Structure 1
Amino acid sequence: MMVNIMLATQGTQMHEQEVKIQSGEITLTGTFCAPNANGEFPAVLMVHGSGPLDRDGNMKGQNLNIFSQLAHAFANRGIASLRYDKRGCGDSSGNFMTTGYSDLVQDAEKCLDALAESKTVSDNHLYILGHSEGCSIAPQISERRASVSGLVLLCPSIERVETLLVRQALQLEKEIDSLPGMSGYLYRTLFKIMGRPFRTQKRLIRKVRESDLPVVRHGVTRQPAKWLREILEMETERVFTSTHTPMLLVAGEKDLQSDPKER
């Protein structure tokens, strides 16, 4: 159920309302954005990429406001949207570090159901926009909810997650090894102290698989082990080939995650 809390923003072309959505014992907080007009509108649920992200796609040290910009652009074109804080992030309850991938799928599914219940949303025009990790969550939900008309996937990948993580680590090593000047020197010195990305990534993957804990310590950091174990076991290609929902795939030519060779 989507419960309206307050009118957060109102303008000549759109209005926004803060909402609360129940997902099991977790209360998710988000923003419903819609054109400032009467009637029913096409609607989009926005599903995040990986990391402790709030409803706008921001986290500590990274303020991109991707989803808020998209929501406002959609509203100005007659499209409603719902964006939400991940569990344990922003104003949502829960613990992000102990959250599994399956929990994130459940949360997105509950948000889609709440969006579909809105009286201002058209029954025949319900879409999911996924970014990065959200590109895997979106098709999984669409197979369970026949009401989904289409998917918009930003930076999708069909590689197994372990392959993707190792490839990214190797690419990072390659770029740092060729980085000139003081920056390159400092990064390479850090590699000597902390370990090179490839070996560090492989150690983390092995440690997570050997553990049944929700969180593990890796070096000086704590890692969400439950989440990583679940996505490592996910057959990404099957996720995409199993869905019959129309998809629009959007990726950059130089994106480390969306390898052009996969397309």
Structure 2
Amino acid sequence: MEREMKINIENPIYGSLTMPNEGGVYPAILIISGSGPLDRDGNVKKGKITTNLYKELAHFMTDLGFVTLRYDKRGTGKREGDWLAAGFSDLVEDAKKSIEFLQSHPNVDKEKIIVCGHSEGTIIATKLAESINLAGIMLLSGGVDNLIEAVEKQRQFSYKELFATPGIMGWLYRKLKVDVKGEKQVNSFMEKVMKSDKDVIKVQLFFKQPAKWYREHNSFNTREALKRVTCPVIAIQGDKDALVDNEVLKELPNLVQGKSEFHIIPNMEHGLRVQSEPKTVLKMRKFFKEILKRPLHEEGLMEISTWLVANYKNEESMNEEKAVL
């Protein structure tokens, strides 16, 4: 079953709640989306981008016996507001309100609420887990690095791709030192962001940028937050994901206090789908439409399923559900 929910009275949050068809009390999963103007399903309005990633994840998890909740970010879907003006703190606050909604729901086991963050959502999940008593967090296509660190590594990877371009173009990129010039531009932009007290600023006169979002992400130390996480943690990334650093997941067991595990899935990209093409930043758009036609990666889903069932669908909880029915 899937129903639309309205959470909060002021500045209401609209979302979709999925439940197993049977009645009863179930563990619940809050799905938190990645960066940009993505709605509850993982889509950008007017058909600009249609991934349905979070909708597919929600239905997969509900088939395993979990209640799921996914919601529209500010300024997306049915939600009012400006997504560019929303800071990291605003995104965390929306997630907290959504957790409170799940805690009050009669079909949710209040002791078994899990947060599943994708991309930027992994950072929000980390922030929540350091201060709220969650049953677990899932970090999909992200984790350990904060947003500023992750974006800096994306730039470095793109420079390497440019320098590896065959022939005269590769030579020209190296000769022009595009990495040095690119980093100067970024530093200039971040200096402007840090000096501003506005939610949104303009660069080059016309282009709006989420200044508050950058400032707040810049000040959040994910590693220090992870040291205060006591619930089970799983991190899953694809080896074809050019937007994350797989190596940092090795730090996870030494950061969190509770049990943790991580998995690097072969031939999986940032959106959790199969990618047979080379790992790339520069050609992501070229491959994007074709990749969206493919299913979510079976091995990635298997790791999600194994972890969820092992930790939250044990024999005792299954018997409790049967008793309620």
State TM-score, norm by structure 2: 0.68
Give the Å deviation of 1:108. 0.2
Matched position secondary structure for 2:15: strand
Q: Within the alignment, does 1:224 sit opposite 2:210 as a pair? A: yes
- Structure 2 CA distance for aligned equivalents of residues 59 and 37 of structure 1: 32
Distance 2:95 2:235 in 1: 19
Identity over aligned residues, as a percent? 34
Letter aligned with residue 235 of structure 1: N
For residue 17 of structure 2, the aligned residue among 32, 38, 41 is: 32
Find 1:213's aligned residue among 191, 194, 198.
198
Q: Which residue of 1 aligns with 2:127?
A: 140
What is the alpha-carbon distance in structure 1 between the residues aligned to residue 90 and residue 100 of structure 2?
Answer: 15
Greater fraction of residues in strand: 1
SS of residue paired to 2:60: helix
Deviation per residue, 1:161-217 (Å, 9 max, x gap)? 433322211222322344469xx79xx8xx99xx96434332221211121111111
Amino acid at match of 1:150: G
The answer on whether the counterparts of 1:57 and 1:64 sit within 8 Å (CA) in structure 2 is yes
Alignment of 1:11-22 (within 5 A): 15-22=1-8
Alpha-carbon distance between aligned partners in 2 of 1:139 and 1:159, rounded to the nearest angstrom: 11
How far apart are the structure 1 equivalents of 2:13 and 2:126?
21
- The match for 1:86 among 57, 60, 73 is 73
Could you tell me whether the CA contact under 8 Å between 1:165 and 1:201 is conserved in 2? no
In structure 1, how many angstroms separate the alpha carbons of the residues matched to 2:189 and 2:40? Answer: 28
Q: Does 2:80 correspond to 1:72? A: no
Deviation at 1:156, TM superposition (A): 2.4
User: 1:37 Cα shift?
Assistant: 0.9
**Which secondary structure state, in structure 1, belongs to the residue aligned with residue 90 of structure 2?**
helix
Note if contact 1:173-1:198 (Cα within 8 Å) is conserved in structure 2: no
* Number of residue pairs aligned between Structure 1 and Structure 2: 241
Cα separation, partners in 2 of 1:59 and 1:177, compared to 1, 3 Å: farther
TM-score (norm 1): 0.82
The question of whether the paired residues in 2 share the 8 Å contact of 1:136 and 1:239 is answered with no
Give the drift of 1:258: 3.1
* Unpaired runs of at least 5, structure 2: 251-325
Residue type of the alignment partner of 2:73: K
Report the Cα distance in structure 1 between the residues aligned to 2:247 and 2:130, rounded to whole angstroms. 27
**Does the CA-based 8 Å contact 1:172-1:197 persist in structure 2?**
no
More helix per residue: 1 or 2?
2
Once the two structures are superposed, the pairs formed by residues 89-104 of structure 1 within 5 Å of their partners are 89-104=76-91
1:200 aligns with 2:188: no
**Aligned-residue offset at 1:74:** 1.4
Q: Are the equivalent residues in 1 in contact too, given 2:8–2:97 (CA < 8 A)?
A: yes
Give yes or no for the alignment of 1:173 onto 2:159. yes
On the 8 A contact 1:130/1:152 being kept in 2, the answer is yes
Read off the aligned partner of 1:109 and give its amino acid letter.
Answer: K
Aligned-residue CA RMSD (Å): 2.6
User: How far apart, CA to CA, are the structure 2 residues paired with 1:55 and 1:137?
Assistant: 15
Give the 5 Å matches for 1:46-61: 46-60=31-45, 61=48
Are 1:34 and 1:79, in contact at CA under 8 Å, matched by a contact in 2? Answer: yes
Query: How far apart are the structure 2 equivalents of 1:178 and 1:98?
Result: 37
Note if contact 1:16-1:31 (Cα within 8 Å) is conserved in structure 2. Answer: yes
Counterpart CA distance in 1 for 2:2 and 2:51 is 19
